Amino acid sequence: MKILVCVKRVVDYNVKVRVKSDNTGVDIANVKMSMNPFDEIAVEEAVRLKEKGLVTEVIAVSCGVTQCQETLRTAMAIGADRAILVETPADLDLQPLAVAKILKALVDKEQPGLVILGKQAIDDDANQTGQMLAALADLPQATFASKVELAADKVSVTREIDGGLETLSLSLPAVITTDLRLNEPRYVTLPNIMKAKKKQLDTVKPEDLGVDVAPRLKTLKVTEPAKRGAGVKVADVAALVEKLKNEAKVI
Amino acid sequence: MTVLVIAEHDNTSIKVATQNAVTAAIACGGDVHVLVAGHNAGGAAQAAAQIAGVAKVIHADAQGLAHSLAENVAAQILAIASSYSHILFPATASGKNVAPRVAAKLDVAQISDITKVVSPDTFERPIYAGNAIATVQSSDAVKVITVRTTGFDAAAATGGSAAVEAAAEAAGAGKSSYVGSEIAKSDRPELTAAKIIVSGGRALGSKEKFDEVITPLADKLGAAIGASRAAVDAGYAPNDLQVGQTGKIVAPQLYIAAGISGAIQHLAGMKDSKVIVAINKDPEAPIFSVADYGLEADLFAALPEFAKTI
């Protein structure tokens, strides 16, 4: 069985982003970019399933600018066997529906038994692509996975839901999106980074796949969130309780 | 123009998140209908009909809808989707699971976690862990939206008198099935609906200490308990108590952050709280920059004293 795992290049999660002064977007020139943290978890899970002998090949996919190759090399250093970059122009606003359509075309072509994605990207915070891919490819979905048990024709997935956990059983092929607690992604080692450079990385264009990637949502402006007024430090617990009771009136 | 709200419910009652979504639906304009999809969910349908501002409740009752499987719920929504200009879901685990599936089947973009309705086709939503607010416009025929519940007041649970109409069952695909669930039992207010939240971080040091100092204060205040990702990952508190970008988004009247440094990802989940209190030993902790009241103190002394004083 093949696994398709989808990775996105995003602003590193430790970077505090700034809104551009003309309100057209967030300034991402010259900031550190990394693999979306949920996607690292997705790659790790795919590689672990391969290490257990349940999977024959792990294919990493990314959609976006040329530099996404670095993200794919990272995925291959973790253990993906080969990679596909669906390259789009730098000025294109690539949205979840378009990515889901690209992935659907790749699912048709590669026929994976399982597709694993992160639950959301930390830049657009959409949490849509996995579900949209499942819909377009008519596959069952298990989102927010914290445990995955793969068998020959079924996968059992424990999901994080409001209030606790839920377990589903899906027939294969299926789509899974990862939550934080699914696994602890491994660090890539230097020898594996070197080996990853020799692995196969194919580049295709959305047109080659027959997919229309035009954005559906227009971003009119991007602004700073409202700032909170400066707070005060209190000396002790008694002063804190007094303030909460009499000034803020919340207890 | 008619707006459909997908109800979040437990078969007998409606969850508050639905009422927040109804308020957003009213802001979109037009009649508001609510879909209650479930099994033996007559009670929930009756409760939905009482919500102020709801014109009609559509009740889909089928065995296949018992556990809100995305495939089956999406099929049920798609069966009636053509009558609506907007389809709104509360941005809960369940809403986020189903909404994109519906949008993709309709070949429209989905708009996640809206915090404001600017006009029927224009919405505000936070991006980059809440560090920027994007105003987006949709030209799609149907707007499929998830509603950040803390962005909208809850519509009144009573005062409405909508008619309840039964919907024909739509067949699911049968490719997924429900195996079981473990729901944490709790007498406390639900985290996302609580007026006061006491939240603990890594500085608590152990599950025992977490329970020992956080619980009595929460009990005294009638508060819900939250946790940072560090505390959850270390096993001090269960996953579903995590507050942050990837956990619950909360906006209580009072949020007490104890032993939480205040990473960007945590702030994304709580910085819309009305009053924020930070209790931390480290005067440099970023949490102090958003706190209305900061107390630099050892939380193992401060929290018990807090609980005793009130």
Residue B25 touches partner A, C-beta closer than 8 Å = no
Cβ-Cβ pairs closer than 8 A, A with B, add up to: 252
Cβ pair B277:A136 closer than 8 A? no
Confidence of residue A97 (pLDDT cuts 50, 70, 90): very high
Q: How many CB atoms lie within 10 A of CB A67?
A: 12
In chain A, which among 186-205 make CB contacts under 8 A with chain B? none
pLDDT at B264: 94
Output b/e per residue, B205-234; b: 16+ Cβ within 10 A.
Answer: beeebbeebbbbbbebbebbbbbbbbbbbb
Q: Do B293 and A221 touch (CB under 8 A)?
A: no
Residues of B in contact with A161 (CB under 8 A): 93-94, 181, 240
Q: Does B166 contact A at CB distance below 8 Å?
A: no
Residue B239 and residue A165: Cβ atoms within 8 Å?
Answer: yes
Instruction: Say which residue the tokens 């079981």 belong to.
Output: B180
**Nearest-CA residue of chain A relative to B293?**
A232
Report the pLDDT value the prediction gives residue B184, as an integer from 0 to 100.
Answer: 79
Are the CB atoms for B309 and A236 separated by under 8 Å? no
What average pLDDT score do residues A197-201 get?
A: 98
Residue B18 touches partner A, C-beta closer than 8 Å: no
Question: Does the beta-carbon distance from A135 to B183 stay under 8 Å?
Answer: no
For residue A20, the model assigns a pLDDT of 97
Q: What is the pLDDT of residue B187?
A: 84
Tens digit of pLDDT for each residue in A36-94?
Answer: 999 999 999 999 999 999 999 999 999 999 999 999 999 999 999 999 999 999 999 99
Share of chain A above pLDDT 70, in %: 100
Best mutation target, A16, A19, A132, A153, to test chain B (most B CBs within 10 A): A132
Nearest to B296 among A218, A233, A250 (CB): A233
Chain B nearest CA to A167, separation (Å): 5
The residue in chain A having the minimum alpha-carbon distance to the alpha carbon of residue B70 is: A141
- Residues 7-66, chain A, touching B (beta carbon < 8 A): 11, 13-14, 16-17, 19, 26, 38
- Facing residue for B96 by CB, picked from A11, A127, A223: A127
For residue B269, what is the enclosing H or E element?
A: helix B264-270
Which stretches of chain B score pLDDT less than 70? none
The minimal CB distance from A166 to the residues B134, B181, B233 is found for: B181
Pick from B123, B249, B292 the residue to mutate for testing the A interface (most A CBs within 10 Å): B292
Q: What integer pLDDT is reported at residue B302 of this predicted model?
A: 97
Q: Crossing angle, helix A129-136 and helix B70-80, to 10 degrees?
A: 70
Query: Residue A217's pLDDT band (boundaries 50, 70, 90)?
Result: very high
Tell me what pLDDT residue B169 has.
Answer: 85
What angle, rounded to 10 degrees, do the helices at A129-136 and B93-106 form?
50
Distance from CA of A153 to the nearest CA of B (A): 11
Asked if the C-beta of B90 comes within 8 angstroms of chain A's C-beta atoms, the answer is: no
Q: Which of B97, B181, B306 sits opposite A165 (nearest CB)?
A: B181
Question: CA separation (Å) from A223 to A103, A167, A217?
Answer: 31, 40, 17
CA torsion sign, A170 to B98 to A125 to B224? negative
Report which residue type is found at A147: K
In a mutagenesis test of the B interface, which of A154, A216, A236 is the best target, namely the one with the most B β-carbons within 10 Å?
A: A216
CA-based nearest residue to B199, from B105, B132, B267: B267
Distance CA B95, CA B13 (A): 17
CB-CB neighbors (< 8 A) of A212 in chain B: none
pLDDT value at residue A15:
93
pLDDT of B16 reads 95
Whether A230 shows a pLDDT value over 90: the answer reads no
Task: Tell me what pLDDT residue B258 has.
Answer: 98
Q: Which residues contact B51 (CB under 8 A, 6 or more apart)?
A: B14, B18, B19, B22, B34, B155, B156, B157, B158, B159, B160, B162
